[in-house]
């Protein structure tokens, strides 16, 4: 597959997305001419490009869809739900065809059959006249059709009066005459009888007409093709005078004389000149006379004028393209390199801070400022608006709600909110899961809704908003809400909690994210299998994000996702344990407190600390990571809040804030617990990044074993 085709496939994907989005949008606004125009353009471009790049199957298919929207555009047809459904079906069909083409195989009979079905349905919607026209659409007309060679040389008389404004349409009669000359011996006779009086003369106009005597092997159609762009507006007559063999130099001169002297030499007259010679066979090669009337040269110097204009400001640089497409690997590489640079810069700053050379320190400071700026820029390049992900949910909601017999409207807000590319990519699936859940569990059927005094159609609101270094994405529905009682009963029956457990709503909501947990009694093909929410939870954890659930029975549910803007570089809190360094993600750090040296120890092997009246459990990182270094007399506890749980980490020294460039640990250490990555400090030391979510989950799991007290929530 060549490069052009690959670009085409990439572009086709964008066009299909555009087609889908606009089609869905038009459902709510069927008379929006702007949207209709966009739909038409998307299909039109798809069709045009497909035929350009050899995807004739797609071009053929798209033709009818294009036709339908052409009718809509011209007001001959209205947008109906049937048309929308068929357009979406067509879009999917085209996507299917592309998949096959990408694999470089022919679409199967079945796929073609499906396509034909769609087209048959679509044609039924078209106005009658148009449908007939569609059924047998004309063979493509080419700009320069193949020229058929004709063996025998023939003599033609061509009479041509170009439109007066020929120069103003960018054509030049001389070019066309030159083209004729390339076809064979050509005599040019110019007639200036059309010239107006000098005071009425417009120098931009062409007042001449020509008689041309052409001897060529090409046929009349080929000659006509020379005039293809001007034929409609010209007076053009191409007449065959006779066989070139019977037209020697003398005869030719005779004809030229007639053409020059007579303004409108009748064709019979000219034929008569050749005819008597037809008995005389001419076997020698035809001498060629290149005669050209001098006044042809006096045409307005359009060409020179044009060149003058062209050169006029060629010094001015081309303004350049507003945006460019770059393979994402290159961006990843860039961010990688910036990460390395940030690390080296940290070393430089550290070296500078211990230097007495003021010049060196000033350079280090400048480098630092530049590196931060570079980092921010590199990060912003990878930012994409989240709307790209939102777009596909319209389709999901439409299809699923139709399947389940529900009426649901999806409202999206904050599409322009930007997030790192990788984050957006990894958010797609969790969002799909959650929206599926909303549609299946959340929103009731129209009948149930009406009975509950709610509007018939349910609503799902998807919104994104910036909050510091986080983006808050919320999915709100106005459905039945989470039934805490059902969750409780289910959890008891699954043995997750004891029947006498006292749980807050938040704790109950947290249960829905446990693997295998579903309160839906019936498994539909949409959801209810109990896989999903735990996957959602895992994905969001991996992104370093958090989930919050709020719900009110019969009013609806809101799931709030707090997602960090980027995953490559995070703000961290650097702490020291023995001789080792660790990083805690700053975003979840609540506070740091001093650990009283004689703190009473109790609990399940962990310890508890009293923070202004709240009892917070803490973990000694010394113990957790099995450090053999001596514990310092004064310890600190870093309190983090994760998943509504407060947890402390006892450390020796809190070093301070640190720009953390996250490095993977590699496949060897991928299953090491409690550590999510590593970073390199200014002096080259490696610091491990503590995987707080994993530790919290691990602890919660441990303490929920029977007989052990639950971890304190606050």
Partner 1 sequence: MPKVILSVDDSRSIRQMVSFTLTQAGYQVLEAVDGKDALTKLAGAGVDMVITDLNMPNMNGIELIREVRKQTKFKFIPIIMLTTESQDATKQEGKAAGATGWIVKPFNATQLVDVVKKVLR
Q: Could you tell me where the DSSP H helices lie in 227-301?
A: 249-261, 267-274
The distance of closest approach from Cβ of residue 230 to partner 1 in the complex, given in angstroms and rounded to an integer, is 8
The distance of closest approach from Cβ of residue 52 to partner 1 in the complex, given in angstroms and rounded to an integer, is 5
The distance of closest approach from Cβ of residue 694 to partner 1 in the complex, given in angstroms and rounded to an integer, is 44
Residue closer to partner 1 by CB (options 161, 480) is 161
The distance of closest approach from Cβ of residue 385 to partner 1 in the complex, given in angstroms and rounded to an integer, is 18
Residue closer to partner 1 by CB (options 15, 241) is 15
Under a CB-based contact definition with an 8 Å cutoff, are residues 602 and 631 in contact? Answer: no
The distance of closest approach from Cβ of residue 384 to partner 1 in the complex, given in angstroms and rounded to an integer, is 18
Beta strands in 261-372 (DSSP E): none
Alpha carbon distance 596, 577 (integer Å): 17
Alpha carbon distance 12, 132 (integer Å): 29
Under a CB-based contact definition with an 8 Å cutoff, are residues 642 and 588 in contact? Answer: yes
Residue closer to partner 1 by CB (options 17, 505) is 17
What six digits make up the tokens of 345? 């810069």
Bridge partners (DSSP) listed for residue 226: none
What six digits make up the tokens of 76? 């001959």
Task: Give the residue from 494, 488, 665, 682 showing the smallest Cα distance to 581.
Answer: 682
The distance of closest approach from Cβ of residue 93 to partner 1 in the complex, given in angstroms and rounded to an integer, is 20
Residue closer to partner 1 by CB (options 67, 437) is 67
Interface contacts to partner 1, rule CB under 8 A: 3-5, 7-8, 10-11, 38, 40-41, 44-45, 47-49, 51-53, 59, 63, 66-67, 70, 137-144, 167-172, 175, 179, 204, 228-229, 232-233, 302-303, 305-307, 309-314, 316-319, 321-322, 325
How buried is residue 526: exposed, middle or buried, by Cβ count under 10 Å (0-12/13-18/19+)?
A: middle
Bridge-based pairing state of the strands 546-552 and 635-642: unpaired
- Return the residue matching tokens 């199957």: 57
Residue closer to partner 1 by CB (options 59, 567) is 59
Under a CB-based contact definition with an 8 Å cutoff, are residues 58 and 46 in contact? Answer: yes
The distance of closest approach from Cβ of residue 151 to partner 1 in the complex, given in angstroms and rounded to an integer, is 23
Residue closer to partner 1 by CB (options 10, 376) is 10
The distance of closest approach from Cβ of residue 472 to partner 1 in the complex, given in angstroms and rounded to an integer, is 33
Q: Could you tell me where the DSSP H helices lie in 606-661?
A: 621-624
The distance of closest approach from Cβ of residue 231 to partner 1 in the complex, given in angstroms and rounded to an integer, is 11
Alpha carbon distance 266, 263 (integer Å): 10
CA separation, residue 4 to residues 16, 41, 54, 96 (Å): 18, 21, 11, 20
What six digits make up the tokens of 85? 């459904």
The distance of closest approach from Cβ of residue 10 to partner 1 in the complex, given in angstroms and rounded to an integer, is 8
Residue closer to partner 1 by CB (options 49, 518) is 49
Residue closer to partner 1 by CB (options 51, 700) is 51
DSSP label of 140: P
The distance of closest approach from Cβ of residue 56 to partner 1 in the complex, given in angstroms and rounded to an integer, is 8
Alpha carbon distance 373, 378 (integer Å): 9
Alpha carbon distance 149, 484 (integer Å): 85
Residue closer to partner 1 by CB (options 141, 193) is 141
Bridge partners (DSSP) listed for residue 407: none
The alpha carbons of the chain give a radius of gyration, in whole angstroms, of 39
Helix or strand (DSSP H, E) at 26: helix 3-28
The distance of closest approach from Cβ of residue 271 to partner 1 in the complex, given in angstroms and rounded to an integer, is 31
Alpha carbon distance 282, 247 (integer Å): 8
Residue closer to partner 1 by CB (options 49, 437) is 49
CA separation, residue 140 to residues 42, 60, 70, 222, 235 (Å): 20, 11, 18, 18, 26
The distance of closest approach from Cβ of residue 306 to partner 1 in the complex, given in angstroms and rounded to an integer, is 5
The distance of closest approach from Cβ of residue 15 to partner 1 in the complex, given in angstroms and rounded to an integer, is 8
| DSSP per-residue codes, 274-286 | HGGGGGS---SPP
Residue closer to partner 1 by CB (options 140, 197) is 140
Residue closer to partner 1 by CB (options 170, 706) is 170
Task: Give the residue from 504, 508, 421, 427 showing the smallest Cα distance to 462.
Answer: 427
Alpha carbon distance 660, 560 (integer Å): 26
CA separation, residue 39 to residues 79, 468, 470, 637, 693 (Å): 12, 38, 35, 59, 46
Residue closer to partner 1 by CB (options 70, 121) is 70
CA separation, residue 265 to residues 126, 259, 278, 552 (Å): 52, 6, 21, 95
The distance of closest approach from Cβ of residue 30 to partner 1 in the complex, given in angstroms and rounded to an integer, is 20
- Return the residue matching tokens 């001959």: 76
Residue closer to partner 1 by CB (options 6, 467) is 6
Instruction: Mention every residue, 6+ apart, whose C-beta is less than 8 A from residue 338.
Output: 371, 374, 375, 378, 379
Q: Could you tell me where the DSSP H helices lie in 382-420?
A: 387-404
Instruction: Mention every residue, 6+ apart, whose C-beta is less than 8 A from residue 61.
Output: 90, 93, 94, 97, 115, 119
CA 50 from chain center: how many Å? 18
At residue 152, what are phi and psi to the nearest 5 degrees?
-80, 135
The distance of closest approach from Cβ of residue 169 to partner 1 in the complex, given in angstroms and rounded to an integer, is 5
Residue closer to partner 1 by CB (options 50, 527) is 50
Residue closer to partner 1 by CB (options 139, 281) is 139
The distance of closest approach from Cβ of residue 197 to partner 1 in the complex, given in angstroms and rounded to an integer, is 24
DSSP label of 361: H
Residue closer to partner 1 by CB (options 99, 305) is 305
Residue closer to partner 1 by CB (options 1, 523) is 1
Edge-to-edge, what's the strand order for the sheet holding 607-611? Answer: 589-595, 635-642, 645-651, 614-620, 607-611
The distance of closest approach from Cβ of residue 509 to partner 1 in the complex, given in angstroms and rounded to an integer, is 45
């Amino acid at each position: 597959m060549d490069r052009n085709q690959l670009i085409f496939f990439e572009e086709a994907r964008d066009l299909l997305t555009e087609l889908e989005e606009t089609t869905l949008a038009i459902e709510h606004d069927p008379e929006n001419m702007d949207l209709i125009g966009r739909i038409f353009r998307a299909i039109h471009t798809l069709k045009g490009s497909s035929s350009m790049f050899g995807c004739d199957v797609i071009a053929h298919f798209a033709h009818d869809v294009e036709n339908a929207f052409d009718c809509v555009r011209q007001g001959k047809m209205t947008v109906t739900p049937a048309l929308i459904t068929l357009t979406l079906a067509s879009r999917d069909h085209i996507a299917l065809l592309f998949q096959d083409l990408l694999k470089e195989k022919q679409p199967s009979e079945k796929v073609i059959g499906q396509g034909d079905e769609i087209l048959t349905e679509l044609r039924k919607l078209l106005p009658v006249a148009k449908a007939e026209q569609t059924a047998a659409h004309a063979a493509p007309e080419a700009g320069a059709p193949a020229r058929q060679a004709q063996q025998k040389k023939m003599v033609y008389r061509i009479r041509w009066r170009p439109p007066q404004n020929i120069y103003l349409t960018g054509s030049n009669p001389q070019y066309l005459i030159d083209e004729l000359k390339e076809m064979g011996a050509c005599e040019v006779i110019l007639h200036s009888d059309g010239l107006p009086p000098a005071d009425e003369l417009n120098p931009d106009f062409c007042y001449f007409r020509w008689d041309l005597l052409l001897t060529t092997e090409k046929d009349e159609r080929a000659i006509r093709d020379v005039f293809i762009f001007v034929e409609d507006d010209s007076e053009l007559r191409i007449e065959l005078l006779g066989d070139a063999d019977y037209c020697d130099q003398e005869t030719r001169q005779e004809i030229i004389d007639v053409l020059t002297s007579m303004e409108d030499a009748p064709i019979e007259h000219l034929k008569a000149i050749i005819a008597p010679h037809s008995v005389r066979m001419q076997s020698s090669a035809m001498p060629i006379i290149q005669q050209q009337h001098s006044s042809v040269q006096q045409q307005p110097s359009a060409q020179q004028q044009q060149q003058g204009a062209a050169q006029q400001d060629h010094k001015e640089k081309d303004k350049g393209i507003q945006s460019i497409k770059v393979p994402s690997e290159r961006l990843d590489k860039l961010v990688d390199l910036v990460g390395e640079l940030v690390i080296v810069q940290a070393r430089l700053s550290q070296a500078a801070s211990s230097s007495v050379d003021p010049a060196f320190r000033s350079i280090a400071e400048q480098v630092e400022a530049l590196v931060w700026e570079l980092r921010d820029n590199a990060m912003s390049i990878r930012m994409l608006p989240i709307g790209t992900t939102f777009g596909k949910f319209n389709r999901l909601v439409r299809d699923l709600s139709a399947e389940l017999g529900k009426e649901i409207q999806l409202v999206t807000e904050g599409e322009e909110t930007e997030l790192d590319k990788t984050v957006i990519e990894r958010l797609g699936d969790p969002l799909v899961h959650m929206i599926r859940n909303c549609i299946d569990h959340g929103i009731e059927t129209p009948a149930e809704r009406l009975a509950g005094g709610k509007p018939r159609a349910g609503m799902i609101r998807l919104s994104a908003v910036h909050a510091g270094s986080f983006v808050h994405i919320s999915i709100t529905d106005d459905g039945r809400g989470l039934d805490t009682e059902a969750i409780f009963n289910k959890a008891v029956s699954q043995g997750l909690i004891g029947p006498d457990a006292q749980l807050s709503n938040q704790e109950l909501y947290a249960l829905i994210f446990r693997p295998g947990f579903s309160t839906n009694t019936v498994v539909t093909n949409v959801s209810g299998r109990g896989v999903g929410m735990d996957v959602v939870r895992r994905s969001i954890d991996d992104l370093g994000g958090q989930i919050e659930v709020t719900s009110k029975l019969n009013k609806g549910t809101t799931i709030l996702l707090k997602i960090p803007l980027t995953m490559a570089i995070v703000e961290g809190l650097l702490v020291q344990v023995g001789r080792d360094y660790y990083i805690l993600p700053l975003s979840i750090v609540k506070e740091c407190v001093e650990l009283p040296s004689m703190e009473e120890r109790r609990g399940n092997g962990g310890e508890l600390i009293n923070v202004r009246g709240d009892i917070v459990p803490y973990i000694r990182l010394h113990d957790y990571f099995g450090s053999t270094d001596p514990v310092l007399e004064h310890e600190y506890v870093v309190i983090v809040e994760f998943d509504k749980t407060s947890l402390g980490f006892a450390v020796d020294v809190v070093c301070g804030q640190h720009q953390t460039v996250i490095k993977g640990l590699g496949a060897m250490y991928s299953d090491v617990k409690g550590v999510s990555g590593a970073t390199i400090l200014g002096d080259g030391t490696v610091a491990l990044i503590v995987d707080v979510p994993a530790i919290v989950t691990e602890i919660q799991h441990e303490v929920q074993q029977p007989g052990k007290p639950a971890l304190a929530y606050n």
